Amino acid sequence: MSIDTPLFEVLRTSDYENLIWCQEKSVGLQALIAIHDTTLGPAAGGVRMYPYESEQRALDDVLRLARGMTYKAAAAGANLGGGKCVVLGDPKRGESEALFRTLGRFIERLGGLYIAGEDVGTTAQDLALVGLETRHVFSLPAEEEVAHFTAFGVVQGMRACLQHVSGSADLQGRTVAVQGVGAVGSDVVRRLVEAGAMVTVAETDQDRLAQITKSYPVTAVPVQELHARPVDVYCPCALGAVLNERTLPELRCKIVCGAANNQLATEECGDRIAEQGILYAPDYIVNAGGLLAYADGQQPGGFNRARALAAVERIAETTQRVLALAKEHQLPTYRAADQLAEQRIAAVGQAKTVATGWGR
């Protein structure tokens, strides 16, 4: 056993509800499922498969990511809690039908406490295998693309930021630098161009770059230059930690608003960007569109496109609320986002106590 942290200490540090260890030697499955908070509903979270260098790293990751999902779902107004599953292994070598079906059986045993989705290292096909053994898997109808809901939400968040900074949410004539034109970024570009924005892109994958410059009137710049462009909005849609000690002094945008998860390298970077007078749209607020689409599919009667789009459209309102809270209390926006999420969990938790007359 190479885990250093005492296990109940791990749960206590941030009020986790459960930590489930799953093992099936015959198929080589080792997985951890963390349930952070289910006040608002079943714990939602992706299944991440990664060749962790140690069990401690896997534990740290599952805990951090589960907590993040609680905040994301709460702030987005979804009736979901936060959870996560990590599978210890190399997605390029370790995947097998038996492994994902076995994971599905573990998830089924939890009786709906945890609902699984895709994440780094797993695909829709892997989740379909999980779904052969359990109903508790997020899915959308085959013709729907989750990244398009995420992209729609990012653009809604961007409009709210523009409204806040300039008094108009109009994208016509705005300059936007989009980093990464993968599943989400390419659809963000499409929406921006259609709304009349002037778009600059950077992308490491040359095929994707060629595709986007062929399809839309966008300007391509080298990857290492994009964040320093003098634009209205810098829109990270590739990697995390893009707002760091090195990039912050080079930023020349008014707003940062993009889909990438964990854009702030550290919380201090969130404080610094506010001090620089740049409006940072908290990533988990504006990239919740995909989660909201999945949440819609959990409703009785299943997925309803118009209802899902209406929920994603409200990311503009949520962003406005975060920005107003930050302004009112003189907080960096990332802290305001956390407060919004915590307030909703506390209020619903209180309501549940009242309804039952005793602790939830």
| Active site residue ranges | 84
Least distance to ligand NAD, CB of residue 290, Å: 4
Element (H, E) at 319: helix 315-329
Least distance to ligand NAD, CB of residue 179, Å: 5
Q: How many CB atoms lie within 10 A of CB 108?
A: 15
Residue at shortest CB range from ligand NAD: 182
Residue 201's beta-bridge partner residues?
A: 178, 220
Q: What is the largest CA-CA distance in the chain?
A: 62
- Asked if residues 322 and 186 have their Cβ atoms less than 8 Å apart, the reply is no
- Asked if residues 253 and 230 have their Cβ atoms less than 8 Å apart, the reply is yes
Residue 20's beta-bridge partner residues?
A: 33
Helix (H, G, I), strand (E, B) or coil at 25: helix
Least distance to ligand NAD, CB of residue 297, Å: 14
Q: How far is it, in rounded angstroms, from Cα 81 to Cα 114? A: 9
Helix (H, G, I), strand (E, B) or coil at 97: helix
- Asked if residues 200 and 223 have their Cβ atoms less than 8 Å apart, the reply is no
Q: How far is it, in rounded angstroms, from Cα 54 to Cα 9? A: 19
Q: How far is it, in rounded angstroms, from Cα 270 to Cα 259? A: 16
Binding site for ligand NAD (CB under 6 A): 146-147, 150, 179-185, 202-205, 208, 223, 237-239, 259-261, 287, 290
β-strands 233-236, 255-256 pairing = parallel
Nearest to 323 by CA among 75, 2, 131: 75
Judged by beta carbon, residue 119 or residue 133, the one nearer ligand NAD is 119
The tokens for 27 are 């198929």
Least distance to ligand NAD, CB of residue 204, Å: 4
Judged by beta carbon, residue 110 or residue 292, the one nearer ligand NAD is 292
Judged by beta carbon, residue 110 or residue 308, the one nearer ligand NAD is 308
Q: Where do we find the tokens 């990311």?
A: 315
The tokens for 213 are 């410059």
Judged by beta carbon, residue 35 or residue 146, the one nearer ligand NAD is 146
β-strands 198-202, 175-179 pairing = parallel
Q: How many CB atoms lie within 10 A of CB 13?
A: 11
Judged by beta carbon, residue 240 or residue 349, the one nearer ligand NAD is 240
Helix (H, G, I), strand (E, B) or coil at 9: helix
